[in-house]
Structure 1
């Protein structure tokens, strides 16, 4: 599902309506959520003008005077409406999507500015997720807060620290993945350029990411609003070659010293010492990568293979007496499983951030989904 979000700061004028229609058409969106429509009433005529055809359904929450207002439009050929729900600062639609009729929920958010009101918003969404059971969740829109200080530029001091702490707590409680941005660091810009923040974002559940794949959010340059439109994509990006990383678990293997020594002692040529050292380091890197594949391979596959072989020997041992060769193999399998599991734990601990370890997410689906999303 390709989802777009845009805080348009008012849908009353033709210019912004044309811009949204253009965005839907050029990006081939399946679903768009709009914040701050500033419309007390909405109708199918306006939605048809925005969508560019009659193949749509829509759900709107009215503004309070000229403040707020939410609008969600989607392709009814792709998603069949199951139900809608709403609260202060958000509304959501549950759809049966595609030929397989997967049940997914898209929540359109325009968060209030006051922390007390944000708390009510976050609590309402948490309760909605608990009440509606297992669905694919996408929570998207203008959250009016940031997660880290580096997501704001031009602000004063440590303003909004409590907001950040509680917003991060909400994301953890919901077990959501903050889909990374591509194109820009910020999504809102003050008109004079003195301040900018990442107020808009896309949060998805692990089940959403598992179904559609690891996503990324494209930031479209802002023009008719001080907010940038965002597009959630699920295509594979070419990030270039993967950087080399030294895995700490290699140090536990007796063969690593020989691999490094042999690679370093290879004859190299070059007029300058720095060039020769560069080639030697490249040799070490390439040989370590090959050795890692040969010795460590895929840790999970290794554990499964060793466990299955041990299971067969245990079953045989229940019926017959194992010969000495089989007993030795049994012992080696147990040692191998322990070694592989220690290697896996070391790899995960190396990849995990300290805060993930603090919250005990090391072995959770949520943590692994966050790793895949990076």
Structure 2
């Protein structure tokens, strides 16, 4: 398919765009990259079989952006999955070498459909750098409906949705704190809640959540800040030790601080491992930008992005919440496990 300004303007909806096209082979594998001129100022591009790389400036943030469009086949035919092993290997090496991650996919799984429905393929995807995730941590890729081609356009968006209060999560590092388990047991046994068992469980968990958040803020504290404070105290004693010998009490204080630093570092390691869930954490620097970007990427991958309601994709929090409530109520009712209606999905 040949492309021109008029065709691209029609696809985009106005003439405020720039575009780069890479021809495919035998009518397949072509790539078209378009961007809004008022947001993205084009500088240069490279292209080849199955890929386009465009460099420009994001005019609102005044930062350099490299946008890569890649086409690689992951085809599913009537006889099952088949793919070119060499192409997939080269593609994975390209991702690893450039430290790129794929944005979470919303909607359909494939971007190309054969007219008779006998085959479908995933040809296009958004790959972003760690710097991109730092600027737009909520980015996702959306596969659009087929219109003028047997290919579906893929759009990247970064939307902020208000899902209400965040769900409560237990932090593994809390278990390393002396007295934590006794605190939980004491709080749990002292809660007085009336109602059936499921209602009591929900309300007691809600009360425990509030108490643990308060304990985390007042007792457990900020681990990074605690570590900095301990290191500064040790440094003061080390400097004093150079100037003159420390007193016996001061030596004991320094030993205690060193012991506290080890405990805090162990808690930080546990916390970081829980956030990242990556095996390389044992060997890599947890203070690197790559590490913190991987934490953001993992959160983005694991979050609930939306649900399909009546064959229509929906991301509105209220609608998603209502649909989740309906599905769980229906399943529990069918199993005969509950005979009451819960309001746990209602926003408060």
Normalising by the residue count of structure 1, what TM-score does the alignment of the two structures yield? Answer: 0.65
**Distance (whole Å) between structure 2 residues aligned to residue 266 and residue 338 of structure 1:** 34
The structure-2 alpha-carbon separation of the partners of 1:180 and 1:369, relative to structure 1 and needing over 3 Å to count, comes to: same
**Distance (whole Å) between structure 1 residues aligned to residue 281 and residue 251 of structure 2:** 41
- Counterpart of 1:315? 239
- Counterpart of 1:275? 199
Matches within 5 A, 1:206-285: 206-285=130-209
> Where does structure 2 lack aligned partners over 5 or more consecutive residues?
300-348
| Larger relative contact order (Cα-Cα within 8 Å, sequence gap ≥ 6) | 1
SS of aligned partner of 2:190: coil
1:144 corresponds, among 73, 96, 109, to: 73
Residue 201 of structure 1, CA deviation: 2.2
**Distance (whole Å) between structure 1 residues aligned to residue 29 and residue 109 of structure 2:** 25
Matches within 5 A, 1:1-374: 38-39=1-2, 42-64=3-25, 66-98=27-59, 101-110=62-71, 143-145=72-74, 159-160=82-83, 162=85, 167-184=91-108, 187-188=111-112, 199-323=123-247, 326-353=250-277, 356-357=279-280, 363=286, 365-373=289-297, 374=299
> Where does structure 1 lack aligned partners over 5 or more consecutive residues?
1-37, 111-142, 147-151
The structure-2 alpha-carbon separation of the partners of 1:328 and 1:216, relative to structure 1 and needing over 3 Å to count, comes to: farther
Residue 205 of structure 1, CA deviation: 0.5
The structure-2 alpha-carbon separation of the partners of 1:248 and 1:62, relative to structure 1 and needing over 3 Å to count, comes to: closer
Alpha carbon RMSD of aligned pairs, Å? 3.6
Contact 1:79 1:97 (8 Å CA) reproduced: yes
The structure-2 alpha-carbon separation of the partners of 1:47 and 1:186, relative to structure 1 and needing over 3 Å to count, comes to: closer
Aligned residues between the structures = 296
Residue 242 of structure 1, CA deviation: 3.4
Residue 249 of structure 1, CA deviation: 2.4
